Amino acid sequence: MFPSRFEYVAPRSLEEALSTLAGRGDEAKVLAGGQSLIPLLKLRFASPALIVDLNRVPGLSYLEESDGHLRIGALARNRDVVASQTLEAGYPTIAAAAPLVSDPIVRNLGTVAGSLAHADPAGDWGSVMLALGAEVTVRSASGDRTIPVADFLVDTFTTSLEPTEVITEIRVPKPEGSSGGTYLKLERKVGDFATVAVAVQLALDDGRIGRAGIALTAVGPKNIQAIDAERSLAGAEPTPESFQEAARLAADAASPISDVRGSADYKRAVVRTFVQRGLDRALELARAS
Amino acid sequence: MKRIAVTVNGTRRESEVEPRQLLVIHLREDLGLTGTKIGCDTTSCGACTVLIDGKSVKSCNVLAVQADGREVTTIEGLAADGTMHPLQEAFRNNHGLQCGYCTPGMIMAALSLIDAGTPLEDEEDIRLALEGNLCRCTGYQNIVKSIKDAAGQMRSSASA
Ligand SMILES: Cc1cc2nc3c(=O)[nH]c(=O)nc-3n(C[C@H](O)[C@H](O)[C@H](O)COP(=O)(O)OP(=O)(O)OC[C@H]3O[C@@H](n4cnc5c(N)ncnc54)[C@H](O)[C@@H]3O)c2cc1C
Ligand code: FES
Ligand code: FES
């Protein structure tokens, strides 16, 4: 399989990339890891006239903590996230998810930013970033804007990114105080996209639950933030009953379809079980932190 | 057409390619390096795995133009002066292949894992690390053995 013909540019600076996109954004596609885009080109689901390859732009590969955030540069690879030693303690949800995204070879190229921009409802990072309350910083030739991930992910393969914009970084607020979280993913086989996955993040405030983040993968048109479940937890005691109730509400928020990976009922049941297990684990980590 | 220069197995190769040319086709058809196989053509099987700047990639899912100025290593680049690479030797000694179609990809993937310091001591670790490579013949048993053997040898000689 071959992509249809396109022009290719590999700008050496972000400014150059942005000025190219300012002129021709509508007919262009940005290339990062290529692990979603190139398959789409080969299948001819996308046929852009121009590919703007970001990979030669320097200074976008960082993964670092500063000003109370974990900052993930647009070209930080999934492999860098897996390899990072610093995430386990502060960002256990990210550390749990990273090794479950695709396989080690695909992770050598695939980026977190590319995954968000791709907005596949079965993508793992969308849920992780929703649960963590992350933001995406995007830039065009006319300036920057910062968008909460909840507003960035609009629909299946659709984001609020303009064709003239690129994501420059993802900003994850450092979970405060006693907090914990995890990512649970059911796969048919290793390396597969999720049948169902769940991201859970929990902060304790004086023994009660402070902020709770719950988001669901592969059970709707996009990654779903289980808002009612989150609200039911905020301020509540972390008891088996409150977790059960949150799990029920999260399962209600899911709208899975029956497909080769399982029936809708089955997937909903997995959401419920995973949210409950995820909350148990998050609580354990929060109490230990 | 784009002019590119890729260092393939240590030799600089200049070519004119269409931007849509896939790296695997460039290697196989333009450069005649047919050791790299195409299995699924959909980034699933790992048969097309090669190294770019030392890291494994599925070359059916990379454009040849992306490799411009980079170093690409294929299975043909492993043996030195007629002496097989420890991974090749280990696959031979442990019967790590049957039809051999997945083998170049398995070996290149394993090389990248060994270089990256991925834990490969236990069978479980190796099986997980190989999740991006499929084999239709062996049931993986002897592939796992081969990699365990080679990783042990390469790491002990590296630390010696
Ligand atoms: C075999 C296989 C298994 C996979 N399994 C999983 C899995 O289990 N879970 C999962 O979540 N994903 C999975 N993926 C997808 C993988 O994680 C991709 O790497 C990821 O979805 C896209 O990231 P990328 O950097 O490769 O982006 P690309 O493919 O380069 O781009 C994807 C889209 O995002 C846009 N884009 C990329 N970067 C930017 C930017 N900085 N600014 C603006 N737009 C941008 C592109 O224009 C394109 O539309 C799998 C892929 C493969 C091939
Ligand atoms: S041929 Fe490239 S992954 Fe199968
Ligand atoms: S030996 Fe035949 S596919 Fe692996």
Average pLDDT taken over every residue of chain B: 96
User: Is residue A9 less than 8 Å (CB to CB) from chain B?
Assistant: no
- State mean pLDDT over B44-57: 98
pLDDT at residue number A191: 84
Of B15, B50, B77, which marks where a domain is finished? Answer: B77
**Domain shared by B59 and B17, yes or no:** yes
Question: Which of B44, B94, B97 maximizes ligand 3 atoms within 8 Å of its Cβ, making it the mutation to test the pocket?
Answer: B97
**Domain shared by B66 and B117, yes or no:** no
**Domain shared by B6 and B72, yes or no:** yes
Query: Using CA atoms, how far apart are residues B32 and B30, in angstroms rounded to an integer?
Result: 6
pLDDT tens-digit map of A136-189:
999 999 999 999 999 999 999 999 999 999 999 999 999 988 999 999 999 998
**Domain shared by B65 and B96, yes or no:** no
**Is the pTM above the cut of 0.95?**
yes
Which residue of B19, B61, B129 is in closest CB contact with A104?
A: B129
Query: What residue's CA is closest to ligand 3, atom 2?
Result: B99
ipTM: 0.97
- From chain B, the residues in CB contact with A191 under 8 A are 131-132
- State mean pLDDT over A97-109: 97
Which residue of B20, B113, B129 is in closest CB contact with A2?
A: B20
**Domain shared by B12 and B61, yes or no:** yes
Question: Is A111 close to ligand 1, i.e. is its CB under 6 Å away?
Answer: yes
Tell me, what CATH number does B9's domain have? 3.10.20.30
Interface of B with A (CB under 8 A): 2, 18-22, 41-43, 46, 49, 55-58, 61-63, 65-66, 68, 109, 112-113, 116, 118, 128-129, 131-133
Q: How many CB pairs under 8 A join A and B?
A: 81
**Domain shared by B101 and B123, yes or no:** yes
pLDDT tens-digit map of A208-261:
999 999 999 999 999 999 999 999 999 999 999 999 999 999 999 999 999 999
Question: Which of B44, B75, B133, B135 maximizes ligand 3 atoms within 8 Å of its Cβ, making it the mutation to test the pocket?
Answer: B135
Of B57, B77, B97, which marks where a domain is finished? Answer: B77
> Would the pLDDT of B89 be above 90?
yes
Answer yes or no: do A34 and B62 touch at CB < 8 A: yes
* CB contact at 8 A, A157 and A221: no
**Domain shared by B117 and B70, yes or no:** no
Question: Is B136 close to ligand 2, i.e. is its CB under 6 Å away?
Answer: no
Answer yes or no: do A34 and B63 touch at CB < 8 A: yes
pLDDT at residue number A177: 87
pLDDT tens-digit map of A50-64:
999 999 999 999 999
Nearest CA in chain A to B113: A104
Which residue of A10, A34, A191 is in closest CB contact with B61?
A: A34
Q: Pick left, alpha or beta for residue A34 (phi over 0 → left; psi -120 to 50 → alpha; otherwise beta).
A: left
* CB contact at 8 A, B22 and B59: yes
Q: How many domains does chain B have?
A: 2
* CB contact at 8 A, B60 and A38: no
pLDDT tens-digit map of B99-109:
999 999 999 99
Cβ neighbourhood burial of A144 (10 Å; 0-12, 13-18, 19+): exposed
> Would the pLDDT of B90 be above 90?
yes
Question: Is A195 close to ligand 1, i.e. is its CB under 6 Å away?
Answer: no
Nearest CA in chain A to B126: A104
Of B53, B77, B101, which marks where a domain is finished? Answer: B77
**Domain shared by B55 and B103, yes or no:** no
* CB contact at 8 A, A75 and A52: no
Collapsed DSSP state (helix, strand, coil) of residue A70 = strand
Q: Which ligand is nearest to the CA of A123?
A: 1
Helices A264-288 and A240-253 cross at an angle (nearest 10°) of 140
**Domain shared by B91 and B154, yes or no:** yes
Tell me, what CATH number does B146's domain have? 1.10.150.120
pLDDT at residue number A17: 98
Domains along chain A?
7-56 (3.30.43.10), 63-173 (3.30.465.10), 178-288 (3.30.390.50)
* A79–chain B nearest CA distance, Å: 10
**Domain shared by B73 and B93, yes or no:** no
pLDDT at residue number B80: 92
> Would the pLDDT of A104 be above 80?
yes
Q: Which domain holds residue B9?
A: 2-77
Average pLDDT taken over every residue of chain A: 97
Question: Is B105 close to ligand 2, i.e. is its CB under 6 Å away?
Answer: no
Share of chain A above pLDDT 90, in %: 96
Q: Tell me the DSSP string of A151-219.
A: HHEEETTEES--TT-EEEEEEEEPPPSEEEEEEEEE-SSTTPPPSEEEEEEEEEETTEEEEEEEEEESS
In which band, very low, low, confident or very high, does the pLDDT at B160 lie, cut at 50, 70 and 90? low
Cα(B84) to centroid(ligand 3), Å: 20
